[in-house]
Amino acid sequence: MQMKYAVLGAGHGGLAMAGHLGLMGHQVRLWARNQQALDGVARSGGVMLSGVVEGFGPVDVRPDLAGALAGADLVLVVVPASAHREIAYNCAPYLSSGQKVLLMPGRTAGAIEFRHTLRAAGCTADVLVGEAQTFLYASRRTGPASARIHGIKRTVCAAALPARRTMELLDAIKPAFPQFMPARWVWKTSLDNIGAIFHPAVVLMNTGWIETTRGTFRHYLDGISPAVAGCLERLDAERVAVARALGVGALSAIEWLGEAYGSAGSTLYEAIQQTPAYFGVGAIDTIDHRYLWEDVPTGLVPIAELGRACSVPTPLTDSLIALASAVCGQNFRSSGRTLARLGLEGLSPEQIAYVAMEGEMIGA
């Protein structure tokens, strides 16, 4: 079944996804905040893909957001999660009842923030908002109109607000990507946010190497040594404990690697070393990168905030937030997805769970 998709974002993920959708024969419109990122695709008429997917996918570039959204069955938001609030405000005037929005991925509490922002911006349309637990690919933009897909995950969970409408969301994405499977609710997708585990701590523990070599090493295979992996396992245990307090059976990082990529290992270090999709993924060349300014405020901060609401201590998470803030010269704690910013301040763990299940704030 041919669907009409709008892809918002033309970075590593958005360019690859738009090209892949076009290659499969779906109608796809592409929009980006940075209009220059669209120039190459506009000139060529699409995206050339390499890697595990090869070929040319036709893509319709739309410089205006209204044109990109009009008539789309599903809007795929493929931008850093730190931009979700801005995108929601900008989309609010143009979304129509019956349309669906899927954050790719939502990171932690992305769907809740996006939906809350739409309403604050005056959007009264019945728009179904949901989030993916992670991005479908390991991919990199390789040119103005080209991308390489290093690997495609075997399964990716997604959920909608409210939870009972998740299958509606999946009906819109499965014609293109059957890998998507239903999660019980968005707290499952949000608290299985492995990017919060695999990105900030690795960057912070390799900052000197990144700045000295400009990233001439592999993020996963070289940057995650046995000692770094041990730190990640302890950080991961805090995330899993917060999830458990909300009634979420979150996957551990090792379990997630097995489910997403079929990787095996008795330790996190061993499992990462057995993940082929990570073999060609290089390190970042600057610490001014989304691995910090996205994954800390939209991953570590809401995890710590939910821990506070549930009386679950998160000392390592808190320490990494403070260290990232010092390294970047920002206060990620105040600018991130706090309970107050999500409209959840003062709610009990039971009430916070209710929001994700029913899609409504208490008393709304």
Each residue's pLDDT tens digit, 194-245: 999 999 999 999 999 999 999 999 999 999 999 999 999 999 999 999 999 9
State the alpha helices, DSSP H only, in 24-124.
Answer: 39-44, 65-69, 84-91, 110-120
| 129, 99: one domain | yes
Residues 148 and 79 in one domain: yes
Q: Which long-range contacts (CB under 8 A, 24 or more apart) does 162-166 make?
A: 162/357, 162/358, 162/359, 162/360, 163/356, 163/357, 163/358, 163/359, 165/128, 165/359, 166/130
The verdict on residue 189 lying in a domain is: no
The torsion angles phi and psi of 296, rounded to 5 degrees, stand at -80, -55
| Same domain (yes/no): 270, 320 | yes
- Shared domain check, 352 and 252: yes
For residues 243 and 146, state if they share a domain. no
**Catalytic-residue membership of 199:** yes
Q: Which of 116, 150, 199, 219 is catalytic?
A: 199
**Residue type for position 230:** G
- Divide the 364 residues of the chain into consecutive groups of 10 and give the mean pLDDT of each group: 90 96 96 94 97 97 96 96 95 97 96 93 95 91 95 92 95 95 95 94 97 96 97 98 94 91 93 91 93 96 97 98 97 94 91 87 47
Q: Which of 48, 340, 332 is closest to 204 using CA atoms?
A: 332
From 150, 183, 216, give the residue that closes a domain.
Answer: 183
Residues 94, 72: Cα–Cα separation, whole Å: 11
- Please give the tally of structural domains in the chain: 2
pLDDT tens figures, 123-147? 999 999 999 998 999 899 999 999 9
Same domain membership, residue 246 and residue 226: yes
Tokens representing residue 130 in the block: 């949901």
Question: Is 151 found in the same domain as 86?
Answer: yes
Domain holding 8, by residue range, is: 4-183
Helix (H, G, I), strand (E, B) or coil at 224: coil
Could you tell me the CA-to-CA distances from 128 to 103, 106, 181 in Å, in that order? 11, 14, 17
From the candidates 192, 236, 295, 318, give the one annotated as an active-site residue.
295
| CATH number of the domain within which 164 lies | 3.40.50.720
**CATH number for position 344:** 1.10.1040.10
Q: 148, 183, 218 — which closes off a domain?
A: 183
On whether both 128 and 227 belong to a single domain, the answer is no
Report phi then psi at 113, rounded to 5: -65, -45
Please report the pLDDT score of residue 361 as a whole number.
54
Q: What is the distance between the alpha carbons of residues 256 and 134, in angstroms, rounded to a whole number?
A: 10
- Per the domain annotation, does 105 fall within a domain? yes
Question: H or E stretch including 61?
Answer: strand 60-61
Q: What is the pTM of this model?
A: 0.88
The answer to whether residue 192 is catalytic is no
Note the pLDDT of residue 115: 93
Distances (CA, A) of 134 to 8, 47, 69, 116, 278: 16, 22, 23, 21, 15
Considering the domain architecture, whether residues 155 and 273 belong to the same structural domain is answered as no
79 and 178 together in one domain: yes
Cα–Cα dist 350/364, whole Å:
16
